[in-house]
Amino acid sequence: MGIVARIGLILLGIFIALGYKAYEQLSVTPRLPNNIEFFEYWGPEGGDPYGGSLEIVPFNVSYPPEVIERLRKQLHDAPSLTAPLEEAAFQYGFNSERLKEIVQYWRTDYLDRWDERQAYLNRFTHFKTKIQGLDIHFIRDKLESVRNPKRIVPLLLLHGWPGSVREFYDIIPMLSNRTSDKEYVFDVIVPSLPGYGWSEGSSKPGLSTSKVAVIMKNLMARLGYRSFYIQGGDWGAIIGNLMAILFEKDILGVHLNMCMGSGSPLTMGKMILTSLAPSYFIEKQHIDFYHPTWPKIVELILEGGYLHLQATKPDTIGTALQNNPVGLAAYILEKFSTWTNPANRNLQDGGLEQHYSLDALLDNVMIYYLTDSITTSQRLYAESFSADELGKAYENIPTNVPAACAKFRHELFQYPDWILKEHFTNLMQSNHYNDGGHFAAMQLPEVLYKDIVQFVNRLYVR
């Protein structure tokens, strides 16, 4: 055997050995922390994590006229936009002709009715409370006329990016009111995630999704609930999943509209196997939710540029968007177009008003604008994709919390149930819907509501 061949065999052996070692390490199920730090401090320097007030104070969305007039002037004085390419719709991003129409509506009709919109944002009761050094904002909607505690079911609703608590405005009263399809009412708690909307952002690095999960658990404890249900999408789904892992004994059930399996090599292998012979693993009528695989990967690449940017340089893109209402609107509303249905990319108007009103969409943009929270919201990506957070791999730990997955046709990605059951070992419900996308609570609140109630009805004990 020649020297080159021998060197090749040696290198191959080293490669196989290293690969096997890496597989061994990746295949080990990570361990939960022995002691979860419930008092980790995220507030300004010099604060005392044990000295914060336990007080819960009412909060009102209120901005003086000069703030709104400043925004109106910014929209009026915005620089001219580059014309779209001939016959281009949303394939290159937000179509500038459509953006001009929305900006015109925002500057005139919407802002002329700001008192009405502000009153609508205040239609539910808002609060703030200090947790781990941060002012945490939340909405709470509960029927005070219900006296029997057994008929009150606590439900934590968690939003994601680029959404806000505004996503849940249509579904909140369905959940909190008496209805014939349930023997209980929900005590609905809807927080703004730290760094989003009216919730304060961290003053130091490290506030990742697993840390936010602790803050949300502390919020529910502050409200008197050790055990409760969770519903979430986007970051809300990830945080809800982590809460079901970290606090398994306390979570009554977790309902997600973006369910994800673990990131273990076994899961990845199952995904590859499923793509080779989907009919063996997935019911025929649901195969196209998951396959063919390659077009769905291409779609993720087309839509994933924001993720890499926000996971690496959130402050840079934040600088470009903060105090820039036109850019902010384009950046946020583009997601409500293509994440609702990728086919909207081929529509001149982006298909936005097929599913949402402009008032609802601009309410959400206003929350980011008025609170200057676009940069702090995007930092969650950098913290959650950091080497330290990924090294914990908590999401690879199975959870036995009762789980439900609502799968909407145009969600960014989906995991088949046989793979999800590796992680959600007590997956009780998995429903597929032929419509809907990433923002289900805002797009199809009635459908999502019925899915939540169907799940809780399975578990509710009078």
457 close to 182: Cβ distance less than 8 angstroms:
yes
Do 220 and 252 meet the contact criterion of CB atoms below 8 Å apart? no
**Catalytic residue ranges:** 234, 381, 438
DSSP states of 223-270: TT-SSEEEEE-THHHHHHHHHHHHTTTTEEEEEESS-----SHHHHHH
Q: Provide CB contacts within 8 A for 414, sequence distance 6+.
A: 259, 289, 290, 407
> If residue 406 lies in a helix (H) or strand (E), which one and from where to where?
strand 403-408
With a CB cutoff of 8 Å and minimum separation 6, the contacts of 76 are 107
Q: Which among 192, 245, 206, 221 has a CA at the least distance from the CA of 400? A: 245
* Identity of the residue numbered 455: F
CB neighbour burial string for 349-388, b if at least 16 within 10 angstroms, e if fewer? bbbbeebbebebbbbbbbbbbbbebbbbbbbbbbbbbeee
Residues 6+ apart with CB under 8 A from 48: 41
- Contact of 223 with 189, CB cutoff 8 Å: yes
Q: Whole-angstrom Cα distance, residue 216 to residue 59? A: 18
| 199 neighbors 205 (Cβ within 8 angstroms) | no
How far apart are alpha carbons 291 and 286 in whole angstroms? 9
Phi, psi of 433 (to 5 degrees): -125, 135
Nearest-angstrom CA–CA distance, 405 and 286: 14
Cβ pair 254, 404 in contact under 8 A: yes
**Nearest CA among 147, 151, 251 for reference residue 462:** 151
- Local structure of 378: helix, strand or coil: helix
Beta carbons within 8 Å of 129's beta carbon, 6+ residues apart? 53, 54, 55, 56, 57, 135, 136, 138, 219, 222
